[in-house]
Structure 1
Amino acid sequence: MNKNELVAAVAEKASLSKQDAVGAVDAVFEAMQEAMAKGDDIRLVGFGTFSVSHRAASKGRNPSTGAEVDIPARNVAKFAPGKGLKDSLNPGK
């Protein structure tokens, strides 16, 4: 599912116009980005948790030349699915 398909599904399920659904989806994504940029976790009960994890600097290798490359430290987004999402993906277990 891409963003346009998500907007169409939200519009249908919430009985919104597509324009209103675009605004709602964009607002949710923007709020999530802002929260995670501050280092906050986002916990959606039954769906999952979005969190920010710090990845330390490391050394890597360029596969074509074999030269050593410095990989800088950075923050990365992580997602851990919740029980409700896991159960919906594996019905009958």
Structure 2
Amino acid sequence: MNKSELISTMSARSELTKKDSQAALSSMLAVITKSLSEGDQVQINGFGTFALSYYPARTGRNPQTGAAIEIEGANKPVFKAAKALKDAL
């Protein structure tokens, strides 16, 4: 399912128009993104938790030349599904 299909499904399951569903989804994604960029985690009961995980710096290889390169450490978003979501699947 892509974003436009998600918006259509949200609109069909609620009393919102597609335009309102798109605004709601965009707002939710913006809030999650802002919270993660500030270092906070976002927990949605019954669904799961969005958080940041730090991956430390490491040495990698350039696939074309085989030369060793240093890959910087980075915060990456992770999602952990709640038990209720796991049970529903």
The TM-score range, normalised by the shorter chain, is over 0.9
Alignment of 1:1-93 (within 5 A): 1-89=1-89
State the number of aligned residues. 89
Cα displacement (A) at 1:36: 0.4
Aligned counterparts of 1:14 and 1:28: Cα–Cα separation in 2: 16
Please provide the CA RMSD for this pair: 0.9
Gaps of 5+ in 2: none
Aligned counterparts of 1:27 and 1:56: Cα–Cα separation in 2: 31
Runs of 4+ in structure 1 over 3 Å off: none
Gaps of 5+ in 1: none
Provide TM-score, normalisation by structure 1. Answer: 0.90
Identity rate of aligned residues, in percent?
A: 37
Instruction: Encode CA deviations 1:13-35: one digit per residue, 9 max, x unaligned.
Output: 12111011110000000000000
What secondary structure, in the 3-state scheme, does the structure 1 residue paired with 2:6 have?
helix
Instruction: Encode CA deviations 1:8-55: one digit per residue, 9 max, x unaligned.
Output: 111111211101111000000000000000010111111111101111
